[in-house]
């Protein structure tokens, strides 16, 4: 992999390789863009096939965080860390302390958080070496708590905005909503939908999770492979990514796709296909931004009321995406990128103008 060529092509700022022999740490910190502010993104620990796969994943995820944070209106850029190793057997406290020292060495350019393969306890250990970490436990000064209910609330708000565009009202009462996966986020989402009077159809490989929402929220359960073809108004993918693909798209009967899962489109072309079919897609990184909005509030001294008000603006952000899609006659997944890029461009131009003005002032002073 020609890493500098890749960085130049996709406009990355920095890649840091972190190694600590005594603890076994092998980590890659990728910082994509800090135009909007310091890069915020979680630390993922995974058993990568090889080092190049880890580098590519770090770069891809960092860019995704740039767009996610920009679209959410946060004053944060995008970054991500991957640690090479098996989170079930390779973790040790010294590893995360060593990693914390590397984060500290970036002096605030990058702020980390929990991600796949890492936990709040791991963040607490990182915090022993640096303050540039979010999602720590209350004992260490953290306060945002479990992000799942907050993420679910943001998805609920975004779903209502999408419903308004398609059905003429944002009320979900009586709407049939098919939810794929009923884990922690989806359980809280089901609660919001049930309280508004929606009819739920659910599936999950975890039968206990399915039974819970069937009993508590009157949901109808179907087998995992049936969820795509059920008669419904809204399909809500809340488990694995890439469930909008060549095999599932012909089965879909929904008019709206709005869910919590990441990377819902298997490929960009699938976003084009559902757009041509007249299905409104609420882009995943816009609608599921509640979690990052919540932890980002810790940087100001966590205030739950303020954080939840910010999460509510996901409704407005989905509306903005829809308006850009209609304005430019493009699919919503492209419109989401454009919304993020336009915000970054505005801030970049503003900063450039400020620096130019400062240089002109200094130049005039020098002449005088």
- Active-site residue, selected from the candidate residues 26, 80, 91, 320: 80
Q: In whole angstroms, what is the distance from residue 114 CA to residue 158 CA?
A: 24
* Alpha-carbon distances, residue 328 vs 255, 321, 322, 324, 334 (angstroms): 21, 11, 10, 6, 10
State how beta strands 199-203 and 220-221 pair: parallel
With beta carbons less than 8 A apart as the criterion, state whether 116 and 262 touch: no
Q: Which two tokens stand for residue 187?
A: 């359980």
Contacts of 124 (CB under 8 A, 6+ apart): 136, 137, 139, 140
Q: In whole angstroms, what is the distance from residue 220 CA to residue 211 CA?
A: 9
Q: In whole angstroms, what is the distance from residue 283 CA to residue 258 CA?
A: 8
31 — phi, psi (to 5°)? -115, 115
Q: Would you call 5 a catalytic residue per the annotation?
A: no
Quick one: which of 35, 71, 81, 212 has its CA closest to 154? 71
127 — phi, psi (to 5°)? -65, -20
Contacts of 298 (CB under 8 A, 6+ apart): 134, 135, 142, 143, 144
Distance of CA 83 to the CA centre of its chain: 19
Active site residues: 80
């Amino acid at each position: 992999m020609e890493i500098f060529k890749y960085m130049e092509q996709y406009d990355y700022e920095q890649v840091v390789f972190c190694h600590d022999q005594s603890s076994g740490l092998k980590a890659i910190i990728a910082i994509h863009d800090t135009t909007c502010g310091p890069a915020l993104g979680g630390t993922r620990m995974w058993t990568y096939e090889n080092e190049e796969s880890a580098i590519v994943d770090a770069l891809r995820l960092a860019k995704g965080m740039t767009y996610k944070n920009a679209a959410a209106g946060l004053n944060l850029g995008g970054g991500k860390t991957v640690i090479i190793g098996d989170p079930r057997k390779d973790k040790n406290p010294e590893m995360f302390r060593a990693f914390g020292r590397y984060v500290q060495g970036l002096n605030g350019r990058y702020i980390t958080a929990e991600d796949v393969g890492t936990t709040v306890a791991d963040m607490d250990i990182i915090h022993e070496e640096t303050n540039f970490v979010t999602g720590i436990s209350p004992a260490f000064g953290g306060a945002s708590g479990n992000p799942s209910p907050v993420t679910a609330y943001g998805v609920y708000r975004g779903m209502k905005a999408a419903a308004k565009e398609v059905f003429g009202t944002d009320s979900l009462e009586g709407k049939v909503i098919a939810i794929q996966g009923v884990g922690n986020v989806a359980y809280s989402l089901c609660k919001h939908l049930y309280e508004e009077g929606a009819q739920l159809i659910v599936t999950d490989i975890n039968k206990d999770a399915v039974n819970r929402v069937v009993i508590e929220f009157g949901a109808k359960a179907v087998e995992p492979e049936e969820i795509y073809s059920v008669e419904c108004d809204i399909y809500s993918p809340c488990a694995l990514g890439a469930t909008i693909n060549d095999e599932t798209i012909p089965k879909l009967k929904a008019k709206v796709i709005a869910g919590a899962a990441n990377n819902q489109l298997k490929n960009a072309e699938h976003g084009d296909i559902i757009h041509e079919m007249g299905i409104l897609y609420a882009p995943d990184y816009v609608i599921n931004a509640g979690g990052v909005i919540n932890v980002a509030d810790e940087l100001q001294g966590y205030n739950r009321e303020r954080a939840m008000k910010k999460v509510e603006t996901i409704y407005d952000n989905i509306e903005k995406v829809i308006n850009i899609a209609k304005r430019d006659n493009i699919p919503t997944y492209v419109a989401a990128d454009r919304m993020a890029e336009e915000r970054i461009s505005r801030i970049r131009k503003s900063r450039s103008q400020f620096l130019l003005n400062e240089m002109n002032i200094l130049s005039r002073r020098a002449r005088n």
